[in-house]
Amino acid sequence: MKNLVILGAGTSGTMMANHLISKLPKREWNITIVDQFKTHYYQPGFLFLPFDIYTTKQVKKKGEKFIPKGVNYIQKKIELIKPDENKVQLEGDAQLDYDILIVATGTKIAPSEIEGMDGPMWYKNIFDFYTYEGAKALRNKLREWEGGKLVVHITEMPIKCPVAPLEFAFLADSFFKNKSMRDKVDITYVTPLGGAFTKPKATEALHHLLEEKGIKEVTDFNIERVDYENNKIVDYADTEVEYDLLVTVPTNMGDELIERSGMGDDLNYVPTNKATLQTNDYENIFAIGDATNLPASKAGSVAHFEAEILTDNILRYIKGEPLKAEFDGHANCFIETGNGKALLIDFNYTHEPVEGTFPFPGVGPLKLLKESRMNHMGKMAFRWIYWNMLIKGIHIPFVSTNMTTKGKKLEKINN
Q: Note if the pTM is more than 0.75.
A: yes
Q: Which long-range contacts (CB under 8 A, 24 or more apart) does 78-83 make?
A: 78/7, 78/34, 78/36, 78/105, 78/257, 79/257, 79/260, 80/257, 80/260, 80/261, 81/7, 81/257, 81/258, 81/261, 81/263, 82/261, 83/261, 83/263, 83/281, 83/282, 83/285
391, pLDDT greater than 90: yes
d(CA 371, CA 342): 5
pLDDT tens digit sequence for 223-267:
999 999 999 999 999 999 999 999 999 999 999 999 999 999 999
Instruction: Report the pLDDT averaged over residues 288-303.
Output: 91
pLDDT in tens, 17-30: 999 999 999 999 99
Rounded CA-CA distance 176/38 in Å is 35
Spatial distance between the Cα atoms of 342 and 357, rounded to a whole number of angstroms: 14
Q: What is the pLDDT of residues 297-337, one digit of tens each?
A: 888 889 999 999 999 999 999 999 999 999 999 988 899 99
Spatial distance between the Cα atoms of 33 and 64, rounded to a whole number of angstroms: 11
164: part of which helix (H) or strand (E)? helix 164-178
For 179-229, the DSSP string reads TT-GGGEEEEEE-SSSSSSSSHHHHHHHHHHHHHTT-EEE-S--EEEEETT
CA-based torsion, 281, 284, 290, 296: positive or negative: positive
pLDDT tens-digit map of 169-219: 999 999 999 999 999 999 999 999 998 887 777 888 889 999 999 999 999
Residues 6 or more apart whose Cβ sits within 8 Å of residue 154? 165, 190, 191, 192, 193, 248, 249
